[in-house]
């Protein structure tokens, strides 16, 4: 089933923020440090303890977050809408439609976690992430 989630970007405070949200909202919190991922060899070692990806799940509530924006966070770019698509056709269609007159940040590609993934900023300045996993 296709659904959309908020994806929050932090400047090194992802663990603290997501733990706070878990305390406030309940649910299961899962975090992956950069050092625990295939990206570890490609980033400076001082980034190893930062959070590559986190998700807080409680029933239909899913809140995701990351420290991967580094120092580039400014008001307005700290939230992405993440669409988890239900088919290859859907992820391609949504990505192509929303990228019209926008800016592709990461073209759709096969990610190391096994999903088709891409990122864009639409013509209104909204940040979008797209994810499709066959599982």
| pLDDT surpasses 70 at 118 | yes
Residue 34 above 80 pLDDT? yes
Name every residue whose Cβ is closer than 8 Å to that of residue 24 and which is 6 or more positions away in sequence.
none
pLDDT of residue 70: 66
Record the tokens describing residue 99, joined without a space. Answer: 């990228």
By the 8 A CB rule, do 120 and 99 touch?
yes
Nearest Cα to 132, choosing from 106, 80, 105, 94?
Answer: 94
Residue from 108, 4, 5 nearest 66 by CA: 5
Average pLDDT, the chain: 89
Percent of the chain with pLDDT over 90: 53
Q: What is the model's pTM? A: 0.69
Residues 55-103 have pLDDT tens digits of 999 888 899 999 987 667 777 777 888 989 999 999 999 999 989 999 9
pLDDT at 80: 84
Residue 73 is encoded by which pair of tokens?
A: 């966070």
pLDDT over threshold 90, residue 46 = no
d(CA 80, CA 125): 11
The string of pLDDT tens digits covering residues 19-30 is 989 998 889 999
Residue with tokens 């991922």: 37
Residues 6+ apart with CB under 8 A from 77: 9, 69, 127
């Amino acid at each position: 089933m296709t659904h959309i989630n908020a994806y929050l970007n932090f400047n090194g405070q992802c663990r603290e923020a997501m733990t706070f949200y878990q305390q406030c909202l309940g649910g299961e919190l899962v975090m992956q440090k950069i050092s625990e991922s295939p990206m570890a060899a490609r980033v400076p070692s001082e980034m190893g303890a930062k959070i590559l990806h986190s998700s807080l799940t409680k029933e239909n509530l899913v809140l995701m977050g990351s420290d991967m924006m580094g120092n580039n966070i400014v008001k307005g770019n700290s939230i992405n809408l993440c669409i988890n698509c239900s088919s290859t056709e859907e992820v391609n269609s949504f990505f192509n439609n929303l990228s019209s007159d926008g800016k592709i940040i990461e073209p759709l590609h096969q990610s190391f976690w096994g999903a088709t993934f891409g990122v864009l900023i639409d013509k209104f300045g909204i940040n979008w992430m797209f994810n499709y996993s066959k599982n």
